[in-house]
Amino acid sequence: MTTSNRPTVAIDELNPLASSVSGAPSILYLGPTTSARGDHEPKCFPDLLLDQVFFSITKDRGDYQLLPFFYDHLGGVDDIKFRHEVWGDLEEAALLDGIRAFASQMRDVHQRLSWSVKSTFVQHRRALRLDAADHYCSAVTNLANALRAANLKSRALLRYRDSLAAYASSIAFEQLASETRSLKDQLSQIRYCINLKGLHVRVVKYEGEADYGAEIEETFARFQQSVVKDYRRSISDWPDMNHVEAMIADRVALLFADIFSCLQSFCEHESDFLDDTVTLFEREIQFYLSYLDFIAPLKSQGLAFCLPDIQVESKEISAKETFDLALANKLALQGTPAVRNDFHLEGEERIIVISGPNQGGKTTFARTFGQIHYLASIGCPVPGRAAKLYLYDELFTHFGKEEDPTYHSGKLEDDLLRIRAVLNQATTNSIIIMNEIFASTTTQDALALGTKIIDKIISLDALCVVVSFIDELSLLGPSVISMTSTINPENPIERTFKIVRHPADGLAYALAIAEKYGLIYDTLRKRITS
């Protein structure tokens, strides 16, 4: 039996962005990664509600510290495709079931290790560590078998399969598994008797004494006339141990000194049996599993997710049946599916200006545009039946904020300062999303300022979405297109939340309202002259 000299490493102490820990291959990163790019939340998250989305995705997996993975915008197409391949492999049900079983077994391992640290009784601690090692060996073996049986195509899982196979066949792991099985078998064969006399407890070896319980049941069985209440109590599987149980365990250890001496030796030289090859995979696979669990209820409502085609040269982008992930998650709790929308940009088109009635889904569409581009940049499936999206360098957002009376500057000045900061940092490869800018000023000033800003974005040749009440901004050139929120023509106050590619015409909505309430010129004239 070999002694491990590796330092103890807990799940949450692993570098969340390391693609190689002591040679362990990553299933998230194609090549070595040393920079902590995902150490803080991107500034765009609150505006796009991605902070809410990723909190919901990771809240039940706090031990794995997954948020840094979701903060890490990837910079290369091949890095994204590396993750796309894994998503493809996980569509195989048998493989996914095997990986979920592995994850469950590893949670049991960590739980038992945690219990062993907290226990105050020596034999209890050792038993829990042995049980943890047994679950660990089973988890590794089962995962290796699941990967070997799967029709893997992804580079990530193929290279991990080879690495895990090498570890599972190593002398160190085989000795760990062999000693664990041997100790479990020996301990399971121990038989002893407990003699109780008042408050005195005496523990002795089992010498073939009769089972008094069985004899009593046999004696009284003849008197049983009907089904009666069962007064027997099952032994609790609660992992804790009281002082009486601990004292009994100590006496048993004295009676079977050789076996318990082996258990002590095992726990001393296998104090750290968790291997980096296993723990890194355990953590990184949660990135995939957590996202799959999050979108499962949405898919059950008929909402589609797809792996987008990633563009780096062309800015001709599109999406079909896409939707706001944060809103969809909220609506799913009410059993209501989210409204889906399409968009596309072709040729020299770069900027979408969205207009239409209030509360019509314009801001939701703008958030959707940002969300799906961000999700695409971290290699995740995006909401939609199909999508072709651009791999940006930075994603900037400018959403209107309530005026803060503690600020010395007014809302307009604050808007201008924030937009200037965005435009100073943006490049031709950036995406900019602006929602209800300059709503605090006059229409004339808003048009003048909006025109200057869009002209700047046009000169950058950056992709942009602008939500505005100024229809004229959609007419600033061939690189700008108009999309409008629609209404029910039979009931103009009813929103459809559909955003369609259509020339902006604020008067159309006003006319529909006037017609509904009989306020158009012809109707009023007839009423006056009648």
Distance CA 353, CA 390 (A): 18
Range of weakest confidence among 30-39, 380-389, 411-420: 30-39
Q: What is the pLDDT of residues 471-494, one digit of tens each?
A: 888 888 899 999 988 876 666 566
Q: Does 9 have pLDDT greater than 50?
A: no
Provide, rounded to the nearest whole percent, the portion of the chain with pLDDT above 90: 56
The pLDDT score that the predictor gives to residue 213 is: 77
Between 283 and 405, the higher pLDDT residue: 283
Work out whether strand 318-322 and strand 386-390 pair parallel, antiparallel, or are unpaired: antiparallel
* Mean pLDDT within 187-213: 85
Q: Please list the alpha-helical segments (H only) found in 301-404.
A: 325-332, 362-377
The pLDDT score that the predictor gives to residue 506 is: 60
Distance CA 66, CA 55 (A): 10
Q: Does 19 have pLDDT greater than 60?
A: no
Range from 145-149, 235-239, 359-363, 408-412 that averages highest in pLDDT:
145-149
At the top level of CATH, the class of 301-529 is: alpha beta
Looking up tokens 């010498």 gives 207
Distant-in-sequence, close-in-space partners of 332: CB < 8 Å, separation ≥ 6? 297, 298, 301
Q: Is the distance from CB of 420 to CB of 34 less than 8 angstroms?
A: no
The pLDDT score that the predictor gives to residue 245 is: 84
Q: Does 527 have pLDDT greater than 80?
A: no
Q: Does 233 have pLDDT greater than 70?
A: no
The pLDDT score that the predictor gives to residue 185 is: 94
Q: What is the pLDDT of residues 106-115, one digit of tens each?
A: 999 999 999 9
The pLDDT score that the predictor gives to residue 293 is: 97
Distance CA 55, CA 51 (A): 6
Nearest Cα residue to 281 out of 107, 24, 69: 24
Distance CA 245, CA 122 (A): 12
Report helix, strand or coil for 175.
Answer: helix
Q: Is the distance from CB of 498 to CB of 486 less than 8 angstroms?
A: yes
The pLDDT score that the predictor gives to residue 322 is: 97
Indicate the residue type of 167. Answer: Y
Q: Where are the domains of the chain?
A: 14-38+57-188+271-284, 191-222+240-255, 301-529
Quick count: other Cβ atoms within 10 Å of Cβ 72? Answer: 24
The pLDDT score that the predictor gives to residue 222 is: 79
* Mean pLDDT within 41-57: 95
- Locate 40 and state its tokens: 């803080």
Range of weakest confidence among 107-111, 332-336, 436-440: 436-440
- Locate 177 and state its tokens: 């598994």
Q: How confident is the model at residue 6 (pLDDT cuts 50, 70, 90)?
A: very low
Provide, rounded to the nearest whole percent, the portion of the chain with pLDDT above 70: 85
Q: Give the dihedral sign, CA 454/475/318/78.
A: negative
Q: How confident is the model at residue 337 (pLDDT cuts 50, 70, 90)?
A: confident
Nearest Cα residue to 468 out of 439, 430, 508, 426: 439
Distance CA 125, CA 435 (A): 58
Q: Does 267 have pLDDT greater than 80?
A: yes
- Work out the burial of residue 273: count CB atoms within 10 Å of its CB; fewer than 13 is exposed, 13-18 middle, 19 or more buried: buried
DSSP-derived secondary structure letter, 20: E
The pLDDT score that the predictor gives to residue 404 is: 52
- 3-class SS string, 134-187: HHHHHHHHHHHHHHHHCCCCCHHHHHHHHHHHHHHCCHHHHHHHHHHHHHHHHH
Range from 60-64, 373-377, 403-407 that averages highest in pLDDT:
373-377
* Mean pLDDT within 215-220: 82
Helix 243-255 / helix 122-149 crossing angle, nearest 10 deg: 80
